[in-house]
Structure 1
Amino acid sequence: MSNSTPDSGRSADRRPGAARLRHLRTRLLSLAALQSDRLVNEELTRAGARKWHYAVLATLDEFGPASQAELSSRTGIYRSDMVAVIKELADRAWVERSPNPADRRQNIIVLTEQGSRQLPELDGLLARVEDEVLAPLTPSERDQLARLLAALVDHHGQAM
């Protein structure tokens, strides 16, 4: 048994794995997710953003101003991590924080004009990554995959 870890080289450079591993759906799902996650993180980093930034911006764009607790609930980002995410976004002037007039202990987060301009750029970047990740699939297979993955996420109660 080798102690080496798989590299990110071309798949043609790799030896075939055990058949039972190729048919283990949870392993395939994990490997595909790892590759997708790596590509998304690399491209967002090049754009000066992170996945959590995108999640907050997209949520504010769709639902409007929200408390940090509401954003945490809608995005699945832990409340303790949300504080840092909001700070990073505010430092970039993509969001603004202001005290909630109804509850001064709570901040309301608002998408800024600059954040609104950034969001379509991130949408395009993620669409390009998705095209790369899903390149071997037809449009109908991509739609089917999205439905199946959403069913899994919904079943396990994860925030999207």
Structure 2
Amino acid sequence: MSSALQHIQSLPTWLIGRVASRGRSLVGDAIAAEGLKLMHHAVLAATAEYGPVAQADLGRRLAIDPKDMVGMLNHLQQAGLVLRTPDPADRRKNAVTVTPKGTAVLARCGRLAASANAELLSPLSPDEQRQLMALLTRVHEAPSHPRSSARADSTAPSTH
């Protein structure tokens, strides 16, 4: 007989969450060598991709609270990785850009993160790694359905 705990631990959501937690830990430890946390790395990467970008837009794109974004940008600016300047189109806004030092740190973090992910997936063969990535991508890109309609469907009386 299966216990409730065994049932929970056999769910894809539990397993994916545990693997993701281990992956975040490995990547976080790796990029700490560059003085960054995971969210600093994400903000730096988004700034490099979208910059120059308004500070508020950057926060919206990454779903980061404006107060938290200020703290992260303060850290990145003090480290010389980004620069905030008044937006020429609207001086009430700050435009954020990556500095040359930030570009170099981002490249090193990319290599460190790739190495950490290789460690995470090392129990799998290269073919299994590609298959896992394809399956995870497919699940991630699948259209999501509102949970409320799924619950309504499951509680509706059967018609057959």
TM over 0.5: yes
For 1:59, the equivalent position in structure 2 comes to 46
| Corresponding residue SS for 2:122 | coil
Superposed, which structure 2 residues align to 1:34-45 within 5 Å?
Answer: 34-45=21-32
Inter-partner Cα distance in structure 1 for 2:71 and 2:136:
29
| Corresponding residue SS for 1:103 | coil
Superposed, which structure 2 residues align to 1:11-160 within 5 Å?
Answer: 19-154=6-141, 155=143
Shift of 1:62: 2.1
Q: Deviations over 1:84-108 (max 9, x none)?
A: 1110000001000001111111100
Which sections of structure 2, spanning at least 5 residues, go unmatched?
A: 145-160
TM superposition outliers: structure 1 runs of 4+ over 4 Å: 151-156
Q: Deviations over 1:53-83 (max 9, x none)?
A: 2112222222231011221232233322111
| Corresponding residue SS for 1:49 | coil
Inter-partner Cα distance in structure 2 for 1:79 and 1:144:
38
Larger proportion of helix: 2
Is the contact between residue 52 and residue 77 of structure 1 (CA under 8 Å) also seen in structure 2? no
- Give me the TM-score of the superposition, normalised by structure 1: 0.76
- Give me the TM-score of the superposition, normalised by structure 2: 0.76
Greater radius of gyration (CA): 2
Letter in 2 for 1:134: L
Letter in 2 for 1:71: L
What percent of counterpart residues are identical?
35
Q: For structure 1, which segment, 146-155 or 21-30, has the greater mean C-alpha deviation from structure 2 after superposition?
A: 146-155
Query: RMSD of the TM alignment (CA)?
Result: 2.2
Which sections of structure 1, spanning at least 5 residues, go unmatched?
A: 1-17
Question: Aligned pairs, how many?
Answer: 140
Is the contact between residue 61 and residue 116 of structure 1 (CA under 8 Å) also seen in structure 2? yes
